[in-house]
A and B are shown apart, each in its own frame.
Chain A
Amino acid sequence: MTDAPDRPADAETGTDLPAGPADSDAETDPRTDGGLPAMDGAVPTRDPGAFSQLATALGRPLVVGTVLVTVVFLILPVLATFAASFAHEWAGVLPTFVRDGEFLTLVNWRQALGLTQTDLGAQRGLGGFWTVFGVPIPVTIGFSMLLALGGVVINLLVGVPIAYAVTRYDFYGRGWLNTFAVLPVVPGIILGVAFLKTYSDLPSAVGLMIGYSLLKAPYMVLAVQSSFESMDLRQLEESARSLGASWPRTFLTVVVPNAKTGIVAGAIVCWTLAAAEFNFSYIVYSSGPKPFSLFLFENISNNPFLQAAAAISVYFAIVVVVTALLQAVGQRGFALGGVR
């Protein structure tokens, strides 16, 4: 199957061109039988037509313009939100950044993070603090990070093997298994209700972790798969095994380390997406520390605009850090292989 196509070559020189027609039916030189069309200038000169000419002239500016408008549409509100989170007020055209000689303010952040003792947000939204090395971490945020981490661990255990199975081996039902692994089957909100009704006794935290891992598994599988696809998995596995490594050992010491960029990128992306998963959390959460996305939702729906801006900016900050991490492992942003 790996045989490269070739023609029998000359024994002494290794030259296989031009291998003479050793068999019978050798055609005579086609150049002599005069069957070719004459180069007599019968082909008219090029005429692209008016639309095509217009497209040539305007196409590129239009395309580039569309890209720029889209980028502005996507990114400007992010920057505005971040900037506004430091503003005193936003009542006019622009947020008020300077008031009473004070340039910018951290009051929105303090309120969003519940650092202001009198603020309701502390009790309502964040559920107190954990102190890690003297740094107060709002329980909501810290807990969400841990839940997301749990989801990622499940994802690793589930996603790396399945990605390997469907990339490396050929077996009955492989196509469907692959489709199931890379396409989320149901929206988080429906899965949430079904899950809650089925496992009503399961603690929220466990349910959330399982839900995160299920809903974000496609990202892990895709990331790992794209790493696997860039390797010659079969020959890699076979050379390790011919050298005496058992299959499990081959998998752990040769295959997985070789795919570490995809695995790391997949883990980072899954973690971030799980930390902010809303639809499933919205349904399944019942008790215990509140998932981060619900904290965001409360801020968006109940709190003053600038405080919501600060709360969302917390997440932006996380995404920016994560993007930098992804960059470090050679991945550009959240654009994994094929994003679902």
Chain B
Amino acid sequence: MSTLDEGPLVARLRTGTEALLSPTTETDRERRRIAALALPFVALAVFGAVVPLVVMFRISVAEEYLTATAGVQFDAWVTLLASILAFVPGVGSAVDADPVYGEVIWNSLWFGAVTTVASVALGIVIAHALEKYDLPGEGLLVTLISFPISLPGIVAAFMMIVWFGKTGLLTNVFVWLGGEASLFPAVTSNEVKLTGRPSGTTIAVFGLFLGYLYSMVPRATFLLRGAYAEVNTDAEAAARALGATPWQTFRYVTLPQIRPGIVGAVILTFRTALAIFGTVLVLKALSVVTFRFDQILKVGYDLPTASALAGLFFFFTVGFTFLSLRFTSAEVTG
């Protein structure tokens, strides 16, 4: 093929690259600026995230991966998908596979959903109070509520031990009431041992639920606070003047205005919930995807299966995020 009959796309790329490298007009110079500004981020993302994720995906379908990656096979994905099918009620009994992955995915989803709903609901209440009520020491309240954002999940878990551990602040109250001694039977003393499977008892899962809330409520609150800041207060005043009670004003004027913010907060908080790891690692109440991922690698180093699980997780979060941003009124940026 001679250079004369290069396709229109190639020609466009050529002129585009030329314009980018030695621009002559202000429009071209602006394009070069945008490219220069985006370059460091794109480079970091490609090096730090895109390449590793591609490599990981490759491993999930590789025959050989320990020293060099080679061959193609889908055992890990088959195992994973069979396990998911085996977990589905009704269909499951017909599939001859261990439903463990189906179970951890289901755990991640339902637990993430429940904690998200609770966190966003609490977030609305707190954001409402911060924005609409003239509370004393509001600045201090904001600082205090945002404090847990700085804490890693393992510390959030420790905070739960302080509340509900063997000599926890509330455990003593429960004991006095004649109830369960500790929310974390797996946590025998106030020390956590890195052994054993998740206890899965209702009471322990409730403790984990609170541990998730500890991390998620502050995040949800400040996402919603952004939505509250944009509420048209004149419309609320007009509603009150027309005779609406505070509740009616919230229901008919405020809520419709913050709805996009709520949807956005739900999406982001749910993502946060799915990604939590440290809290589960310490409290060990429920086997979720991140926890199982760690277990697969720790016990037997089954990298292909772990990679397949990670791939599934990645596709799910990316798909979920983009679809939900695309098809809802969610406001996430700005």
Contact = CB atoms under 8 A, between A and B. Distances in A.
Interface in A303-339: 303-305, 308, 312, 315, 319, 322-323, 327, 332-339
Given A73-B214, A186-B53, A214-B45, A157 B40 contact: yes
A136 B272 CA distance: 37
Contact of B218 (A225, A297, A303, A339): A339
Contacts, number: 303
Contact of B247 (A51, A182, A272): A51
A161 B333 contact: no
Given A90-B190, A214-B48, A63 B125 contact: yes
A147 to B, nearest CB: 15
Contacts of A179: 321-322, 325, 332-333
Given A75-B147, A339-B218, A305 B135 contact: no
Nearest to A155: B44
Given A193-B306, A194-B52, A195-B52, A214 B44 contact: yes
Interface stretch (B77-85, B90-98, B138-146): B138-146
A157 to B, nearest CB: 6
Nearest to A195: B52
B162 interface: yes
B188 to A, nearest CB: 12
Interface residues of B, number: 106
A293 interface: yes
A301 to B, nearest CB: 5
A64 to B, nearest CB: 6
Contact of A303 (B160, B191, B245): B191
Contacts of B99: none
A278 B290 contact: no
A9 B325 CA distance: 45
Given A162-B41, A300-B282, A335-B142, A323 B157 contact: no
Interface string A223-250: 0010001000000000000000001000
Interface residues of A, number: 101
Contacts of A181: 41
A190 B307 CA distance: 8
B277 A188 contact: yes
B152 A277 contact: yes
14 contacts: A56-B247, A66-B125, A70-B126, A77-B163, A81-B162, A169-B34, A182-B332, A187-B277, A187-B290, A273-B150, A282-B277, A302-B194, A334-B147, A338-B268
Interface of B: 29-31, 33-34, 36-41, 44-45, 47-49, 51-53, 55-56, 59, 122, 125-126, 128-130, 133, 135, 139, 141-155, 157-163, 165, 167, 169, 172, 189-194, 210, 213-214, 217-219, 222-223, 225-226, 243-248, 268, 271-272, 274-275, 277-278, 281-282, 290, 293-294, 297, 303, 306-307, 310, 313-314, 317-318, 321-322, 325, 332-334
Given A185-B317, A187-B290, A279-B278, 5 more contacts: A93-B172, A154-B44, A300-B282, A319-B151, A332-B142
